[in-house]
Each structure stands twice: as C-alpha cells, then as structure tokens.
Structure 1
C-alpha cells in the first residue's frame, strides 16, 4: 500500500482578492531574505493575518518543506502553544516524547516558513516557542503576527498601518480613486456583497468619506461594504456615528472577534491591565493628537498616578492601540477614530466622562494662557504646538460654547489668537462671534474677545465692523484700569477709524493711546 504523500504546507486558499500592501510585501520579502524572525505588528482588523498568508503563499516554493500556518486565536492556555504548532504541522502527540522535544526534532533539519498568527494574548509562551525553534532549526524562518512585538532576540518588527487613504478634498479622478487601496477594497467588497455596486461620480464623495472615517482599517471597510446590500454609501456614511451598531455581520467563516468591529477592539482591550484600560479610555478626551504632557495633565488621576503615565502610554503604543506620530519635531500620539469611539464608550460605562472632559478643558485653557506669551515672539515654535493641538482646542471651544462656559471659551479663543491671525481668520471670527453673543462672562476675557474680534475684522478689510468692537474693548479696558490692553485697543480703533475715512476720530483715539502709553513703560503689561 502506498504511503500518503506528505503535504508541503497548510495555507488556506484566499477566498477574496488581495488588495494593496505592495510596500509591506516588498519589505517582508527583503527582510526574510536576510533575517529569520519578522513580526507583523498592528491593531486588530488591520490585515496582519491576510498579509502573512499572502507572503507565505508567494514564498512557499522557496522553502522545500513548505509554508505552515499556526493559528493561536482560539488557544487560551499558554502551555498549549507548542501543541498548536505540532497540530498545524500535522504531527501527532502520541508518543512518550515531550511535545516540545518532538517539535524541535521534527524541525531541526527542515527548511520551511512558519507563520504564527495572533500571538498577543500568549506573548511569553509564543515568544519561548519561537525562540526555541530558531535556536534548534536553522532552516526555519518565522513570520509572527501580533498586536505587540514578541520582544525576543533577533526579532525584526514591521508595523502594519491601515490602508492608504484617499485625499480629504475628494479632488482625485475616478481612475485615481480606483487605484487607492482603501477605495479599491471598499469597491471590490461592496460589489461582491451587493452584486451591482460601482464607484461612480455620484457616490465618490461618500466612498471617500466612509474610507477616511474608518481610518483605512480593512476590517471596518469590509464590514461597511457588506451594508451596501441594504443601504446606499451615503446612508452608511451618515450612520457611522454609531459604527459599532452598524459594522456587524461579517463573514460567518471569520473568527468570532472579526465578525464585528466592536469585538475586534474588545479582544485587544480585554488583554490590558486595569491601569492600562483606565488610561486608554481616558484618551478618548483628545479629539486629535496629544503629547505625553497632555496625557499626564488630563488622564493621570485616581488609579493612574502621573509617575506611571510614560510606561502605560508606551505599553498602549506597543499593543497597537495608540499611534505615535511626529509633527515638526514634536513627539505626539493619536487614536484611530474607531479606537477613540470605543474608548469613549468605556469612559461613559466607567462614569468618568464628565471628570475627564473637565480635566481636558482645564488643561487646554491653562496651556493656552501659559503659551500665549510665546505666540508673538516665538511664533514658529508656537505654531508648531498649535499644529499638534488644534483639534483638541477646537473640541474645548465647542464644549465651552455648548455648556455656555463663556469666560473660559473666550479666554482660550483670545489666547490662541495668533493662530486665527496667521492661519484661520474666518474660523477665529466664527468662534468669537458665537462666544461673545452669549454674554459678557468674565469682564477681562470679554474685553480681550472684543479686541481680538475687532483685530480679525481689520485683517478681513472690514473697518466698519472692526471699529465698534475695538471701541467697546477700549471702554472695557478703561473701566477695568488696564492701561496696556487699553493702549492696544485705542491704537487699533484709531486704525479702523482712519480706514473708514474718519480722520478726526482716528486722531483723537491715537492721541489718547499716546497719552496713556506715556504714563508707563510696558504697553503690553
């Protein structure tokens, strides 16, 4: 009787098209030509498993003993990692030999590619098995996938980012959009799901919006594409404010944690220590990028001491829950929008939403005040700070407006005034108009708001609107006995009057400004 032919691998056939990842595939091939352990690291749903299977399929012929996939997602006991590798390799644990010894004996003289998938919940055990294999079997190459590195000797980490995003402006042609990775994935999966979807001029902006709001995360895009069976792309985009309710119903063949967006993120969240969970959920307070100092100020209270913030944040970065960026030489961090929404849900469940929001408002109002002095004389450095923080500042301004916290909202809008002056005059006008119409609030901040609003009106070449604002600012500063701001308001009001052709008033206002300024040395005090 003929002996059965031994398989040269166990990689599953790909049931759907493989989209994008040219750069990552090229880097993987290059790495595997010279190193023996590569770990693909990224958040859940980013496509690590699919990428590993694709590289295994592409390179299988280069390994005489094939490419083998070890799936650890359903293994809960660290002691069974070695057994999972044995099973994947078609080996039977039926002898007196200890499984680890049997595994190493089998691999010692073989040349194969081992794909060890989903290591994050069994890090120590997976790292030990991989280390033992690499030491005992020189012909074995290993590609591991995990939400954080294995942190073993010889490991080379390749971060796997989300797919390339289309431009926010939506100014790309249809042909250009079809070549974009996120759009290509959505279009192909939507066509497969509904049988009739096509990218067209009529839906292009909605497709761009969906892909961008889902941060290019492949799992989220595929789940959204399935909804085209019953919803238009525009309806899907409108419903993304409840993405965890919308993005369900993935493939029944997928792992349970990949059938909804929420369960995918919960898988990572449930692996965190209590203090890591606390910090992660509080990061939802940030609307955009944030720095280490921001985190220490906003999130470090109760069960998260300030001294632990650096280590905890570093751990969240390692676990692919927080992204690290660099903007103009400033190290900063951010959450994908889906991660932020999930963290926000956890914050509400913990009853911390109000406390965290108040910490955030306090922090940015204080930072705005502290950094305002730099704005004029160290403008480039200050604008670098603003480029990092502008989304958070906008969120704080919106919260102040909604809660009618007029004093602090106006103070912050004034303290970041050089941003409106140099980058976003119309936006500054909108914020100040909204806040100033709510009432005087604090007299000092109200007077500052009137001055800044008048200044911006002058920048917009609207002296008719600027003059009464600046004269009201001067009246408020005169009444408060603040000579420095009074001089500035009078001088700007003089310019406004001159621009309207009222030379007499311009002269009077200028004379008063000179008179007040003569009485003290520091006009800006």
Structure 2
C-alpha cells in the first residue's frame, strides 16, 4: 500500500501552505519541522493530495486507506477530523479540505510539485470558502465555447439594451434564449463594471418567492417582511444588469416586479427570457427565431450547406459524440433535412445529433419521420409550444431503456441540482437496483437528457426545466404511487444531507454555499413532507434542519412559516426533542425581526430554552439565553435582561470554553453597561472581546446576533462615559469596520448607532452626520422598521446639538411614537431626555418637566440607569430655569446626579454635572468652591482633550479664574445642549 501511495503521486514532494508532504518517506513537515501525524491520517492526506481540487468519494477513500478491512463511514469521519486538526484547517483563514456532504472530500489548497521545476503548477483553490473564490450567489453561468448563428442577435441586443430598462428575449422552449442571454451578459461585464447578476427562476414554482430569488442573486440579505422593498433600497442608486431567466410561468409576478425596479432604480437594466412577452410597461421584445437552415439543398455546394448555423451546430455535436463520424455532401444534405424537420430549434437539434453517433444519419432521419410531429409554426400560445417540446422529448424517451425511463421519471423529484449519490438514493428501490440506476444515469447523461450543473459544484447534475416537466408528467401517468415514494425518498435524502452538515457544531459553518444551491430541493421536500400524503415526523425534522438554511439566506418570513407549520404538527414523539428546540429557537428569532417584539417571540424562546435545559444541552442554552437577553433589552426590560445574562454566566462556566465565556461575558457586560455600572461592565466587555473568535457571518446567524461586535460597541460607549474618549473612538471605529466586513445588516446598524456618541462628543458633527446618513441608507435598504423609526429621533438630537431645537422637537416626538408602537424601547430613554431638553430650550418648561419626570420614573422601573445622571441633570436645569431664586430643589438633584455618576464611574457625565454646579456656585458668589469642584473633576482626565466637554471645562475654569464675580464673566458653552 505504501509503494502504491508513493508512486501514485507524481514528482515526489508536494508543498501546500507551510507544509511539505514527502510520500516516499511518508513524512509531513511544517516550516521544516516534522509533524506528528497518524498513519491513517497520513494515508488520507496522500490520497487527497493526489487529486487536488477533485472530490474523492468516501467509498474510494475507504478502499485506499483500509484496503483489507471493512470499516464504517464513522471511522473515515474520525480520521478526517484528526487530519484537519493537524493541518489547522479553518484557523486564520487556512482551508485545505472541503467536505461534499454525502459524496466525499476534496483537497482545495493550492499545491506545488517541488521536484518538477519545469512544470511546477499551482492549482487554484476550488473551495467556495476561500477568500479569493468568487461568490456563487447570482454568478453568471459559463458561456459556451461557440455560439452558433446568434452573432447578429448578440450585436443587436448589446447595442440596444443599454438604452432601455427592460428587454425580453422571447421564443419557444429549446430555441436558445438562455444561451443568448448568458453570452450577452458576459459581453457586457465591462460595461457594467462586472455587476451582472443571473437569476434562474426555473426552480421556482410560487410567485411569492420571486423577490427572494432576486435578492439572493444580488447577494442582498433580507430580514424584513417586504423583500422587494429591501431589494429596491439596495439597488436604487446602482448601475447593474439583471438577467431573469425562465420567466414564462411567473410572468404576472415578474411584470409587477420589473415595473417597480424600473420606477425606483433607473440605473438597473433587465434582460429577461420567456416563452411569451411579460407585457410589462417599457418592455422591449426581441423575438428569437430558429437557427437558419437551407430550405432546399439541391444545387448547393458543400460549403454553402455548412454555412448555415443549424447545420454547424448539428455537426459539431454529432462529431463530438462520435469522432469517427465523416460528413460528406450527401451527409450534409441529410443533416439539413433533419434540421428542417426540427424547425431549426437548437435543443431538438442537440438531442437529435447525439443519436447519430449510435443510430447513424439515415436511421435517425427515419426515426424523426416516425416519432416527430412539429405542428407549430411560430404561434405564440403556450399549448402548441408545449406540443413541440413534447414531441421532441417523446422521441428521446422512446429510445430509452426501461431502467433509463424509470430513472428519468423519478429524477423529476429534484427541483434543481442533484449529485450522483442523491440520484441513487431517490431513484433506487425494490424494482431497480443502485447499479442499474448508475448505468442509467450514465446513459441519460450521454444522451443529453441530464445536464451537468457547473454552478452547483463538482459532480452536480440537473434536468432541464422542460425535461423535468415531461418526466414528471410521465411518472404521474404511469405510477402515482411510485411518484409519491420517490418524492418521500427525495425528502429523506435532503433531511439526511442537512442533518449531516449540521452535525459538527449545529451551524452551517461549512457547506452553506452548496446547501444554498439546493434551496429549490429543500422547499420541494418540505412541500411533500407536509403534503396530504406526507410524513409528519419527517416534516418536523426537515423543517428543523432547514431553518438554519433559511436564516442564513435571510429568508426569515419563509423560515417563520415552515417553523410554525412544523410546531403545529408536533406529536408526542416530537415534543421536547432537539427538533422542537431548533424550531422554537428559529421561530422566535424570525418573529422578532419580521413582526417585532411580540409575546409570541418570548413564548417560543422560553420553550426552546426549557427543552435545552431538559436535554442538558448547554451550548443551546447559552444561545437561547443570548436571544432572550436581547429580546428583553429591545423591549426595554433591562432588569430581566440582566437576569438572563447572569444565568448565561453560570451556563458558560459549566461549559468551560472560551467561546462560551465570550458570549456570556458580552451579555453580562452589556447588562452592567445599561444599568450604569460601568466599572463592572468594562472588564466583562474587555474579556468578551479578548475571548471572542473573529466575527464570521455563520456564527452571527447561528447565535442570532454578533456578540463580539455588540461587546465592542458597548465597550466603546462605556469607555466614553468613563472619560476615555480616545480609546472609545478607536473601539467604535473598529466595531463599525468589522460590522461592515461581516455583511450582516443588523450588526452594521447597531454599530453605527452606538458610534454616534463618540463623534458628537468630539464635536465632529460632520462625521456624525455621515454616520447617521449611512445608518439611514442601510436601515431603509433592509426595511428595518425600528431603526428607521429611530433615525428621525437621532436627526432631531443632532439638530438640537447644533442649536435648532425648534426642528428637533417634532422629529424626536414622532420618532418616540413610532418606536413605542414597535415596542422597541432601547433608544427611548435617551431620546426622551433630548426631547425634554429641546422643549425647555424652546420655552416649554412645564412640558419639558413632565417628559423628564416620566423618563426618570421609567428608568427606575426598567433598570435603564445608564441615563439616570443625565436625566437628573436635565431636570435640575429645568427647575433652575423655572425658579432661579429657589435653587434648593435643583441643587439636590445636581448632588444626586453627581453622586450617582461617581458611583457608576461615569466621569464624562460627572464633568457635565460639575460644570452645571460650578456655574450655580459662581452665580451664588462661591467662586472658589466652583473652581475647586470643577478642577478636581477636570484633572482626573488623561485623554480626549479635544472633546467638546473638556474644551468647555477648560474655558469655564479659565473664566472662573479671571473673574472675581460671575457677573463679570460672559461665556458661551456648548454642553448645555448635550
């Protein structure tokens, strides 16, 4: 075995990353030092590196590594996990081994054959997880090497499409609409700066899913109800080309959508393909006719016949299927006759030409005469076009063996791409063995009835839309019981696939790109499992396993729907299981984002936590405690949120791992921060940031929120309040940068909101406005209702700081009303304090006093004590303004606020209160006392000397030092509006 392994890898030593593999010596080194690796793991590595970039089936790996021993897949997974650990796969961005669930494994890192200097080759990383690999979302399919007979169509469309918002390529099925659209997309890549996105609508059966398909193709995460509004928000100012393929069965829905895009996003150009016009406003139609063929070949020379594109396509495909095929003038004329009978349709030509390799031209021509009846001659109604395709496929179908027919029919269960193993699992049963299915698959691929799907990964296949519909019709006509059985096997296959992907850590940290390509199959499987003759137990497990997929793709409404349906179908055997846990957890999260902070959210999350406790599943307990903490935080119930955080600390301590403690520390730190206990908050938040792994989107989706980023923004605000303005700015800016890189809109919005105080505190109102504008754009693009409601209030606060308190009042009042209607109270305390201040500055002191009293009462009730010193200070200022000759009540409030800010460690708030007290003392003639108090507080600061507060404090100290009487001092300070 060793000799075979060593000799099978050409060229001896192979390098990848910091490693070097010497097969002959069975030695692996890292940076020159020998690596301790087991024999089986080394054999696995050698087998994988022998074929870099290719998926090696599990059976083949078992045969190679355990040639004389019968072992199970579990042994392979165990040793593969050990090999990944040795290679530090997944750490610091390193990617070496990719798992194709249900298929096998591939070595995906670039390799160099060190002993072949002349032919040294670096293989490109094929892994979808690699940084340099392009995203599969909306990727333009590969163009075919040669496009026959369409150059004039391409030229016309590339010239005219740029001047119109919507062009539709219309023609019968199989005429080549998609091929033409893809070619145009490639030619216009440079014109649209590579922003060309392809949307295959063939896998969709429901019109309401069209907006989600477009959003996914554009790479737009959607977490709100109105998907198309989110899409329009993202592309409103963009210039891009959107290719919508296979529109005919969804024409009504697509017409509305493309008109909306045309109205809202003038820079977007749409190229659609359909069997009939969309009949949308501003639509320009390009009718795609058949490939040209000679009506009569008599008198034509060989070169004249071969000049027709239909003939060129036929011969090219026929020769490719049989390289010994010779074409003379007589054969070329026979080909022209066949093409004429096929009406120059590209797909029937391709299907027919490959048969020539086995049947010959004469027999093929006879079969066409017997089996084909192409009665449609350019009519636009659907039925004749269907008859034409029916005739084309009938001919191919009758040439199939019985096993090939049954295989083709049962493959219609797939709505999208499928693997070789998936086909075996779904097709094979007691009537057809796996070996016969495998042989039939090979035959169907050779006969072009199954197409390779390059966009879905290695060894992926799919049925063309028309072929699937035809096969489905045949299956239902022949054996409805077999059709239902195949559909259930299809559902079970995707259940196993999803559960296998989730088995490692309960998330989609690996394999999401491949699973995302299966969304059509997952939806189809769910529909069958929940159908009238479905399987309830299967449906519940499938909904639970697919929930992370819907969450990862930001299909929250769909996630909510399937989870609710599954929970309604729970029986006694499913209650209290891991499946119910996942369903309740996903339902709670999707409800929170799509329908707000309702009681149903709390019910779902509490039930999920109850199950996690019963199952002693501490990791899920921690995940759910985090969601409950954030739910009550968003509700404004900070005291209860703090209780969940303390419970999370206990669970994390039981888990005993850094990642768990990072999450729990984040929750505890934020709770202390909101309670105003910054001295306690800071170490928790710093510990969370220190222990947290780098932010990754899959981890954010898994937990529901990015706890590392939330820790950073809370730490930034704590640092600012504690008087460390420069460090607060640095942390806030890093949090915003990380959130932007994460491509998770919710996280990005939160980071921008809490970055605002650092800009305002430094007096950088230009930067503050830019931040708020970015927040508004992001919130509107994603239809985040609560954040949109908050933006008006935040703009009002900025207007107040700039001295425009008249404008501020209305903006803040409207924002508060909208936030309270959404039960989103996280920002209402600070905005209420700003409203009170604005009302007072506008001379409406009694209203201001009423607002600030209600605010103080609310913070006492809900535990939102971070703002209590500021609220007390504002109330004192209002009372002093109302009754300047009776300052006792104001003085009492000032002292209460000052003492509280000191206990909280809120030095920045302490400074503002000290400036108020110093001015009051100065007006009372107590200049020395005023100077002493302010100097004591001011001298404690070690950074942030250019912030507005410190500059105000310095100016006030200088004024107090100059004047012997406050009446001698004239001073304009900015902190009064903050």
Tell me the TM-score range normalised by the shorter chain. 0.5 to 0.7
**Structure 2 counterpart of 1:321, from 430, 437, 449:** 449
Alignment of 1:73-472 (within 5 A): 131=325, 134=328, 145=349, 147=351, 149=354, 225-226=380-381, 247=383, 261-327=389-455, 329-348=457-476, 349-350=478-479, 351-373=481-503, 379=509, 382-403=511-532, 405-423=535-553, 424-439=555-570, 442-443=574-575, 444=577, 445-460=579-594, 462-464=596-598, 465-472=600-607
Match of 1:493 in 2: 628
Q: Is the 8 A contact 1:470 1:489 kept in 2?
A: yes
SS in 1 for 2:654: coil
The alpha-carbon deviation at position 372 of structure 1 amounts to 1.6
The alpha-carbon deviation at position 325 of structure 1 amounts to 1.8
What is the CA–CA distance in structure 2 between the aligned matches of 1:307 and 1:455, rounded to whole Å?
A: 45
- Bigger relative CO (Cα 8 Å, ≥ 6 apart): 1
**Structure 2 counterpart of 1:513, from 648, 654, 669:** 648
Count of residues paired in the alignment = 348
Q: Is the 8 A contact 2:291 2:309 kept in 1?
A: no
SS in 2 for 1:333: strand
What is the CA–CA distance in structure 1 between the aligned matches of 2:492 and 2:416, rounded to whole Å?
A: 17
What is the CA–CA distance in structure 2 between the aligned matches of 1:484 and 1:521, rounded to whole Å?
A: 11
Q: In the TM superposition, what whole-angstrom CA distance separates every residue of 1:423-461 from its partner, at most 9, and x where no partner exists? A: 212221122122223345612112220011112234448
What is the CA–CA distance in structure 1 between the aligned matches of 2:402 and 2:526, rounded to whole Å?
A: 32
The alpha-carbon deviation at position 352 of structure 1 amounts to 0.8
The alpha-carbon deviation at position 285 of structure 1 amounts to 1.0
What is the CA–CA distance in structure 1 between the aligned matches of 2:621 and 2:649, rounded to whole Å?
A: 11
Q: In the TM superposition, what whole-angstrom CA distance separates every residue of 1:10-67 from its partner, at most 9, and x where no partner exists? A: xxxxxxxxxxxx9421589xxxxxxxxxxxxxxx97359x999824469998727964
Q: Does 1:475 align with 2:610?
A: yes
**Residues 60, 451 of structure 1: CA spacing in aligned structure 2 closer, same or farther, 3 A cutoff?**
farther
Match of 2:149 in 1: 25
**Residues 505, 408 of structure 1: CA spacing in aligned structure 2 closer, same or farther, 3 A cutoff?**
farther
What is the CA–CA distance in structure 1 between the aligned matches of 2:151 and 2:299, rounded to whole Å?
A: 19
What is the CA–CA distance in structure 2 between the aligned matches of 1:490 and 1:337, rounded to whole Å?
A: 45
What is the CA–CA distance in structure 2 between the aligned matches of 1:314 and 1:285, rounded to whole Å?
A: 18
**Residues 309, 489 of structure 1: CA spacing in aligned structure 2 closer, same or farther, 3 A cutoff?**
same
Q: Does 1:63 align with 2:306?
A: no
SS in 2 for 1:504: helix
Q: In the TM superposition, what whole-angstrom CA distance separates every residue of 1:231-285 from its partner, at most 9, and x where no partner exists? A: xxxxx6xxxxxxxxxx35x8xxxxxxx9654343222111101111111011111
Q: Is the 8 A contact 1:397 1:413 kept in 2?
A: yes
What is the CA–CA distance in structure 1 between the aligned matches of 2:595 and 2:639, rounded to whole Å?
A: 20
The alpha-carbon deviation at position 370 of structure 1 amounts to 0.4
TM-score between the two structures when normalised by the length of structure 1: 0.55
**Residues 432, 342 of structure 1: CA spacing in aligned structure 2 closer, same or farther, 3 A cutoff?**
same
Match of 1:229 in 2: none
Match of 2:181 in 1: none
What is the CA–CA distance in structure 2 between the aligned matches of 1:282 and 1:220, rounded to whole Å?
A: 29
SS in 1 for 2:525: helix
SS in 2 for 1:272: coil
What is the CA–CA distance in structure 2 between the aligned matches of 1:481 and 1:24, rounded to whole Å?
A: 64
TM-score between the two structures when normalised by the length of structure 2: 0.31
SS in 2 for 1:352: helix
What is the CA–CA distance in structure 1 between the aligned matches of 2:529 and 2:519, rounded to whole Å?
A: 15
Q: Is the 8 A contact 2:414 2:521 kept in 1?
A: yes
**Residues 131, 321 of structure 1: CA spacing in aligned structure 2 closer, same or farther, 3 A cutoff?**
closer
Q: In the TM superposition, what whole-angstrom CA distance separates every residue of 1:463-519 from its partner, at most 9, and x where no partner exists? A: 334222111111222234433322322232122112211122212222223223323
Q: Is the 8 A contact 2:457 2:514 kept in 1?
A: no
The alpha-carbon deviation at position 295 of structure 1 amounts to 0.6
Q: Is the 8 A contact 1:113 1:140 kept in 2?
A: no
**Residues 469, 409 of structure 1: CA spacing in aligned structure 2 closer, same or farther, 3 A cutoff?**
same
Match of 2:292 in 1: 54
**Residues 516, 141 of structure 1: CA spacing in aligned structure 2 closer, same or farther, 3 A cutoff?**
same
Q: Is the 8 A contact 2:305 2:332 kept in 1?
A: no
Structure 1: give runs of 5+ residues left out of the alignment. 1-21, 29-43, 69-110, 156-218, 227-235, 237-246, 251-257
What is the CA–CA distance in structure 1 between the aligned matches of 2:470 and 2:517, rounded to whole Å?
A: 23
What is the CA–CA distance in structure 2 between the aligned matches of 1:369 and 1:461, rounded to whole Å?
A: 28
Q: In the TM superposition, what whole-angstrom CA distance separates every residue of 1:404-433 from its partner, at most 9, and x where no partner exists? A: 644433332332333322321222112212
SS in 2 for 1:463: coil
What is the CA–CA distance in structure 2 between the aligned matches of 1:273 and 1:429, rounded to whole Å?
A: 45
Structure 2: give runs of 5+ residues left out of the alignment. 1-145, 153-171, 177-287, 339-348, 361-373, 661-701, 703-978
**Residues 308, 388 of structure 1: CA spacing in aligned structure 2 closer, same or farther, 3 A cutoff?**
farther
For the pair shown, which has the larger CA radius of gyration, 1 or 2?
Answer: 2
